[in-house]
Structure 1
Amino acid sequence: MKHLPKHLRPRWRYLAVELEAWPDADVAEGDFQRSLWFAAQNLFGDAGSADADLRVVAFSFAEGTGEALVRVRHGEVERGRAALACVDAVRGDPVRVAVRGVSGTMRAAEEKYLGRPSEPAEEATVAFAGESRRAVRRGDLLDVDCEGSFAGATNLDLQ
């Protein structure tokens, strides 16, 4: 079977996405893809989500931070961004999703917006709510362990 001529092939845009969750969150590529599809379907319906044709093509997640590359049809970038904004949890774990940038090729999106080294997570013991507690520090952000769940804090909260 012959390939379609270039002017008839579908055109894509690639959204570079930043992910952040609690340090104990377990976010897998398939689970993120499913959450993205559900968000698009709830926002635009079956026909609208099929038009956007959102697909996760690259994914990495570890220690509460990660990044993804999401493919969307050329004219549907705004719908793709809106669907990503509606993703607030993956398999029950709250997740922050932010679009770093949009590009016309996977390579350009990876070079411009992805692969940026995130700040390494380190364990710390902090005084929080009058007690000594375990925390995970990522730059200026602290995730304080509060009896099985986490509370977000900054250095100013600890003073």
Structure 2
Amino acid sequence: MKHLPKHLRPRWRYLAVGIESWPDADIDRGTFQRQLWYAAQNLVGDVGSAAIDLTLLSYSFADGWGSAILRARRGEVDRARAVLASLNRVDGAEVGVRVRGVSGTVRACEEKYMGRRPEGPEKRDVVFRNAERTAHVGHSRVDVATDEAFAGATTLDI
């Protein structure tokens, strides 16, 4: 089966969400997703819920604190926020849900709003000043380990 052309593919927005509850609350991923779907169904109905297409992509929760990344269709972010605002209980435990931010990609959502940093530099063995050395390559910069310290270089220098 062929993929759809880019202009026909659905466009998504990713919501970074903070979750707060009591320290003894135990909320698992499946229960949280199911409660999101029920809240959407109750607030905007079956058709509205299908239009939002709210899906849980990543989830972590421990000791009363957690975070999640949710996916929603591009034009439905406001309704997705309303669904999250209507969520007050999950599996009998009271929860507070806060949208930290909205992004166009999962990676940007993690980096900006979830406190996750981009991947660190990659280590490579390179030849620099006629000797084999270790270089840390990443984010448009190259740092080559010399005997004394690091030397800044470009990809053309190595």
Question: Which of the five TM-score ranges fits, normalised by the shorter chain?
Answer: 0.7 to 0.9
Counterpart of 2:47 in structure 1: which amino acid? Answer: A
Whose Rg is larger? 2
- Alignment partners' CA distance in 1, 2:105 and 2:13: 7
TM-aligned CA deviation for residue 13 of structure 1 = 0.2
Name the counterpart of 2:80: 80
TM-aligned CA deviation for residue 113 of structure 1 = 0.4
Provide the aligned C-alpha RMSD in A.
0.8
- Alignment partners' CA distance in 2, 1:89 and 1:31: 11
The list of structure 1 runs, each at least 4 consecutive aligned residues, that deviate by more than 6 angstroms after superposition, is none
TM-aligned CA deviation for residue 115 of structure 1 = 3.4
Matched, 1:28 2:44: no
- Alignment partners' CA distance in 2, 1:25 and 1:47: 32
- Alignment partners' CA distance in 1, 2:75 and 2:81: 12
Name the counterpart of 1:156: none
TM-aligned CA deviation for residue 84 of structure 1 = 0.5
Q: TM-score, normalised by structure 1?
A: 0.72
Name the counterpart of 1:18: 18
SS at match of 1:25: coil
Identity %: 66
- Alignment partners' CA distance in 1, 2:106 and 2:5: 21
Counterpart of 1:107 in structure 2: which amino acid? Answer: R
- Alignment partners' CA distance in 1, 2:84 and 2:42: 12
- Alignment partners' CA distance in 2, 1:110 and 1:89: 25
Unmatched 5+ stretches in structure 1: 117-159
Name the counterpart of 2:6: 6
Matches for 1:110-149 after TM superposition, within 5 Å? 110-115=110-115
Name the counterpart of 1:98: 98
Name the counterpart of 2:123: none
Q: TM-score, normalised by structure 2?
A: 0.72
1:26-68 CA-to-partner distances (Å, cap 9, x unmatched) read 0111111111111110000000010000000000000100000
Name the counterpart of 2:136: none
Counterpart of 2:106 in structure 1: which amino acid? Answer: M
Counterpart of 2:65 in structure 1: which amino acid? Answer: T
Name the counterpart of 2:109: 109
Counterpart of 2:18 in structure 1: which amino acid? Answer: E
Unmatched 5+ stretches in structure 2: 117-158
SS at match of 1:20: strand
